[in-house]
Chain A
Amino acid sequence: MTDNALWPFEVEQHITAMSKYYAGKIGSRFYITLRDEGKIMAVKCPRCGKVYMPPRETCGPCFYNMKVDDMVEVGPEGVVETFTQVHYNEPVIPREAPFVYAVIKLDGADTGITHYLGDVDYENISIGMKVTPVLENERQGNILDIKHFKPV
């Protein structure tokens, strides 16, 4: 048998790996407050005053470790900074195409978060549009406790 008489052979493999991430002090307060009170907490660096949403542990430019007491409520309303409509499905994405993604800067925050837009006609979305979150009634303590943002 010559080399080029061979047909390509595929070996199938599959790996399943579960993860769980401890959210830390700042992340824990974010999720607990969202789940129990339906409020959105950012964190404000006491050094430079920047308000981070989503919150994080350390202000990068200041290399300053922020505390739980540095957290501030933001929103709930915000503005669309940029957006797109997605026309294909991916198993890891919990939405059926077509759906709309946006970067939303909540009132009082200096940085935007990525989330879904809903209850809206794609043709009527615009940058700078005012939006407000729609929360799940039965919140689990994850980022999809915010179902999506909708126009104000």
Chain B
Amino acid sequence: MKRNVAIVGGGQTHHAARRQDVSQPEMVNEAVLAALKDANMTMDDIDAVLLGNMEFFEGQHMTDCWLADSTGAFGKPGLKITTGGTVGATIIAAGAHHVASGLFDRVLCIGFEKQEEGDTNAILSGVAHPLFGRSMAGAAMGFFAMLGSSYMANFGATEEHSAMVAVKARQNARKNEYAHLKLNIKIEDVMNSRMLAYPIRMLDMCPASNGACAMVLADEKTAKDRCKKPVWLRAMETAHNEQFVLEWRDTSSTAPKFSDVAATRVYKKLGVKDPASYYDVFEIYEPATWAEILWYEDLHLCKKGEGFKLIEKGITEIDGSIPVNPSGGVLSTNCIGASAMLRIWEAALQIRGDAGGHQVPRDVHRALATGYGGTCWTVVTSLSDSLED
């Protein structure tokens, strides 16, 4: 990057299935005020405002218009960004590019979703291919169901392995005051939960959450002058697959896959040989349990086909040697437009040592965050407390 970029502040709402007490502007404003407070800034310090959510999820286009007052965007330059599930990470990438380029010094990035206000499954069917896919589309679950079936058939994992991911997420969420699904569950609870689309059960899926996240990005000078614990954005990579390329769901395929490709590019950029030891914590985008197991492999934390052994051995638990999603992840909180940003913000909190109850019990210097957008693309973001690595 032309200039170094740091996260100098951030904040989030409490996430919940119901936020009938607030309008969308009021909910988004909660996260904005939290981020400004954390950054020790006022809106006068902000050069530009970038906002995003899942397009049309609440039946509202151009949400940057409706929310201009409450986001603080009034009269300021800015962008509305929509890239599906990845949007929160895309906003951070776009914000970082604007700071790195020298165009702005301080950029406010906001991601949100108020899922209760729209017909999100209907709108999601509009993500499917309009000529060939839409009649078979129903929310995001089908993709993960087929992925899980394929994975079990190819590698010998069982439904109990995905249930372990479900338990880890909700038990971690109980330590996170902002998380939505704080469930004290065991493997048998997951196995007994309602089957939705084999092998995905109710507790294998993320909830539909309401919530927002906001972060302030700044140039190196601002970060060093004004921030006690800047977290540096060291590398970001985005990679796409095409929707009808089925490699992602055929887990035996060795063809290039968006998640693997993006991670490999990040590692190459930073000279990472062994990501499991290079990073101290991971915050990944797992709308379904099987997605997390696949991420282990795509991020090269283990060999292909061995991801389920990491969860089986407890390696990715909050106190394991490779902690993954100590926040509870997307499985516990999915306010779509905020979810990928929450991965980056939670990773930053871990590096700052400010994660509170779900802080991992080790020194955290580096963290990796991922997103899923639609079904076949990702943004991978690498964070560090140092500019030297």
Contact = CB atoms under 8 A, between A and B. Distances in A.
Contacts of A26: 23
Interface of A: 11, 13, 15-27, 56-61, 63, 65
Interface in B341-389: none
B102 interface: no
A27 B19 CA distance: 15
Contact of B130 (A13, A19, A21): A13
A42 B72 CA distance: 21
Contacts of A17: 56, 59, 118-119, 122-123
Nearest to A26: B23
Contacts of B117: 19-22
24 contacts: A11-B130, A11-B131, A15-B123, A15-B126, A17-B118, A18-B59, A18-B118, A21-B117, A22-B19, A24-B22, A24-B23, A27-B23, A56-B69, A57-B23, A57-B25, A57-B26, A58-B25, A58-B29, A60-B69, A60-B75, A63-B43, A63-B69, A65-B29, A65-B70
Contacts of A23: 23
A21 B22 CA distance: 10
Given A57-B69, A57-B70, A63-B42, 7 more contacts: A11-B130, A19-B117, A20-B117, A22-B21, A58-B25, A58-B69, A60-B74
B36 to A, nearest CB: 9
B72 A63 contact: yes
B20 interface: yes
A67 to B, nearest CB: 12
B40 interface: no
A15 B26 contact: no
Interface string B108-137: 000000100111001101100011001000
- Pick from A24, A57, A63 the residue with the most CB of B within 10 Å: A63
Interface in B24-62: 24-26, 29, 42-43, 56, 58-60
Contacts of B43: 63
Contacts of B70: 56-58, 65
Contact of B68 (A11, A18, A21, A60): A60
Interface string B67-80: 01110101100000
Interface size class, chain B: 20 to 34
A37 to B, nearest CB: 21
Minimum-distance CB pairs A-B, first 9:
A24-B23, A60-B74, A19-B59, A60-B69, A17-B119, A58-B69, A17-B122, A63-B43, A58-B70
Contacts of B23: 21-27, 57
Contacts of B122: 15-18
Contacts of A56: 25, 69-70
B9 to A, nearest CB: 16
A58 B27 CA distance: 12
Interface centre among A18, A21, A27 (most CB of B within 10 A): A21
Contacts of B25: 24, 56-58
A63 B46 CA distance: 12
A19 B125 contact: no
B29 A57 contact: yes
A114 to B, nearest CB: 14
A11 B58 CA distance: 26
B123 A63 contact: no
Contacts of B75: 60-61
A17 to B, nearest CB: 4
A58 B134 CA distance: 40
B58 A59 contact: no
A18 B21 CA distance: 20
A136 B185 CA distance: 52
A52 B124 CA distance: 36
Contact of A15 (B29, B58, B125): B125
B65 to A, nearest CB: 12
Nearest to A24: B23
B61 to A, nearest CB: 12
B19 A19 contact: no
A61 B123 CA distance: 34
A71 B70 CA distance: 17
Nearest to B68: A60
A56 B74 CA distance: 13
A20 B23 CA distance: 11
A63 B74 contact: yes
Contacts of A59: 69
A56 to B, nearest CB: 6
Q: Which of A21, A22, A24, A56 has the most CB of B within 10 A?
A: A22
A7 B373 CA distance: 35
B270 to A, nearest CB: 38
A17 B122 CA distance: 6
